[in-house]
Structure 1
């Protein structure tokens, strides 16, 4: 294999923004290696961090998180544009590389189009072009806030224990800071797997509308890409690429608005199972895990949503539903395209519904086996419900990642193929 020449450190930022995103997109996930961008970054000095951050702190360059790093007690963590964050490998049941912003902390992670902030696999930054990253190499980022949820405010986020990790409250204007032009790659973690605690690549729990989330891409997560537990934070320009489980998961009273979002499948990635059934969904939405009706109902509004699965049913069988609304949850959709899943949209259980506040004329749903079923879906025009063994383009020019040269225009409302994004992790020959 042709070797890559390490570039001078002074040329790092230029190199990082000149990469090609789409070479060899048909290469199997399990065969990909480190690309030039990461080889270059791996030559930089590394700063190791661990424990609690209790005073204002700034990160730059390459940061290695040792275990769990918790921002609290009024501290703000500032991460400068172009910073790379990895985990220190650990051979334990504890997560490796987990950043937690508590109710009493803030994050200021404002990257740019040409210098995004990147949380990624330590295997990509080891200087070896043949190293293969794995989902779970970086545990993830957790933002906790005191905005309303439908669980007690003494609830801890899944997998962590103690009052530092409580989320929820009554402050709808909670401000946890900013995350903008950020990538999180190969995230997720199992904590004490026998107890089934899981960490998602980006977890937002009780986060309020004072927080800014914009231009965030999550790729190859071990569990979900984005998971919202209550709160009312709004988000714009989100990309979920090839998670093992769900692309977007909503629970425990989330009521924010998401504007411009893409979920994009790589059918060579790993796929989660529930028993023997594949259950990776574009969206999974519950009011709460038990489906109990509460005064605050999980009910996000999503505008300009594109969910792209597999082109053909033979590959789509490894997925579940494009949109799955259940357990008393509700969802409002506007300008939505779903394609490439066995079931396009399914609403299940008493109290669950696709809200009548949706713009039904702007919703287009395809399923290999079932287009739409359940409360509220009858409002979608029959002309916008398709069933078939091959996915339609829905006006997009070849939107399927594995088929080469993918493009989701006109659904590309968020610069989904811009310089800040990353889809191919293989070496550049």
Structure 2
């Protein structure tokens, strides 16, 4: 029996080494051509036509017109808002713009690699800042793990259009491809600020791929319940969390890039991934329906160095017994890989809820933090991943992390040069 276990352990270690070459040249071609890492320097044309605040019939926005999003714009009555590739939408920073796709309605925003769809601030170049406008809210009828099976979207939106959740698990709530959302995340008029993109109970036939959210004043992405397989998502220098996932969300997020800076954070701390098993105020019905998410091929980087790394938090915050699996990913520049709240009462519970493999991390803390006093062996949940012996600054570890066209996070050295926990 002991010999059998030894063979399994040896196999896992060899497996973690065998992917080293492919991992170190992780393909970033998907992020080329449609992204913009300097949106404050981009000159966009002025708005020509204002989008109506209530849309109750199918509406098409054309790429040859620049639109103004001002105030709360609701798509309701089962209507579909279709946005042509290449369309630019300037969003009001005075009468804060928000786009809300209410339950039963639909957003089709299919940009292309050559002609992405852009939602951006209406301010002039070099004067834009995070939180200039609100964000995009998509409300679906998918499953939500609350006592009622429903919820009300965050913020004081019109109650008529604010309910989410239901039993239409297969619903196609939206199609979004090659979309940039810039300088969103305003909360001046709301107790709960808008995120760049908030997804509430989206149906599993929805398509959310190739999205870039930059300089959000709140979370970049917020997944609240629902079921979704999505890929090619970028969060660039958000003030709050890059990806917030909660209320029984089930799904897979593949090919993620989250780029943070140690001096850009909210007062209570911000994370690349904040994963909540359930909403504490709304409760839950079934413990098996708590949030359970798989993250693959993620690059989670805080651009910290030895002069400022102490300002960083953990890369991942796991709360309310959430479950998460991290695979084939890079985590760098944070204090720790993961932080567990008090809902994780024992090592066995953590081992059941969290797994990370075939990945690499470069941190300056112990690796794992727990709010309760858990066995010191808790760090063993990071077994079979590569790591740096000492903290290394981003520009020393990666090839070109500050590149303004496409930041490059290929490791300068092969993974075989780093340590593996056994």
Q: TM-score, normalised by structure 2?
A: 0.78
Is the 1:199–1:223 contact (alpha carbons within 8 Å) kept by the matching residues of 2? yes
Q: How many residues align?
A: 365
Shift in Å at residue 333 of structure 1? 1.5
Equivalent-residue separation in structure 1 for 2:106 and 2:405 (angstroms): 40
Equivalent-residue separation in structure 2 for 1:140 and 1:148 (angstroms): 23
User: Which stretches in structure 1 are left out of the alignment for 5+ residues?
Assistant: 1-16, 26-31, 412-429
Shift in Å at residue 203 of structure 1? 0.2
Within 5 Å, which residues of 2 pair with 1:75-114?
A: 75-90=79-94, 96-114=96-114
**2:256 pairs with 1:255:** no
What is the aligned partner in structure 1 of residue 193 from structure 2?
Answer: 198
What is the aligned partner in structure 1 of residue 381 from structure 2?
Answer: 379
Equivalent-residue separation in structure 2 for 1:19 and 1:167 (angstroms): 31
Within 5 Å, which residues of 2 pair with 1:14-413?
A: 34-35=41-42, 38-39=43-44, 41-42=45-46, 46-60=48-62, 61-90=65-94, 96-124=96-124, 129=125, 131-151=126-146, 152-159=148-155, 160-190=157-187, 192-193=189-190, 196-267=191-262, 270-274=264-268, 279-290=269-280, 294-295=285-286, 296-351=289-344, 360-374=356-370, 378-381=380-383, 384-386=386-388, 388-391=390-393, 397-398=398-399, 400-401=401-402, 406-409=407-410
Residues 1:203 and 1:21: Cα distance change in structure 2 (over 3 Å): closer
Residues 1:153 and 1:67: Cα distance change in structure 2 (over 3 Å): farther
Secondary structure class of the residue paired with 2:255? strand
Is the 2:193–2:218 contact (alpha carbons within 8 Å) kept by the matching residues of 1? yes
Is the 1:301–1:332 contact (alpha carbons within 8 Å) kept by the matching residues of 2? yes
Is the 1:147–1:168 contact (alpha carbons within 8 Å) kept by the matching residues of 2? yes
Q: Which moved more, 1:164-173 or 1:145-154?
A: 145-154
Equivalent-residue separation in structure 2 for 1:150 and 1:20 (angstroms): 34
Residues 1:72 and 1:404: Cα distance change in structure 2 (over 3 Å): closer
Shift in Å at residue 287 of structure 1? 1.6
Aligned-residue Cα RMSD (Å) equals: 3.0
Equivalent-residue separation in structure 2 for 1:20 and 1:149 (angstroms): 32
Deviation digits for residues 50-109 of structure 1, max 9, x if unmatched?
Answer: 321111101123110120111111211010111111223326xxxx11001111110110
Structure with higher RCO (Cα < 8 A, 6+ apart): 1
Q: Which moved more, 1:212-221 or 1:348-357?
A: 348-357
User: Which stretches in structure 2 are left out of the alignment for 5+ residues?
Assistant: 1-31, 413-422
Shift in Å at residue 347 of structure 1? 2.4
Is the 2:323–2:354 contact (alpha carbons within 8 Å) kept by the matching residues of 1? no
Is the 2:119–2:182 contact (alpha carbons within 8 Å) kept by the matching residues of 1? yes
Shift in Å at residue 263 of structure 1? 0.4
Q: Which moved more, 1:396-405 or 1:146-155?
A: 396-405
Deviation digits for residues 356-375 of structure 1, max 9, x if unmatched?
Answer: 59774412223222323458
Shift in Å at residue 281 of structure 1? 0.7
Equivalent-residue separation in structure 2 for 1:165 and 1:19 (angstroms): 32
Equivalent-residue separation in structure 1 for 2:327 and 2:295 (angstroms): 6
Is the 2:53–2:72 contact (alpha carbons within 8 Å) kept by the matching residues of 1? yes
Larger gyration radius, structure 1 or structure 2: 2
Is the 1:254–1:297 contact (alpha carbons within 8 Å) kept by the matching residues of 2? yes
Shift in Å at residue 177 of structure 1? 2.2
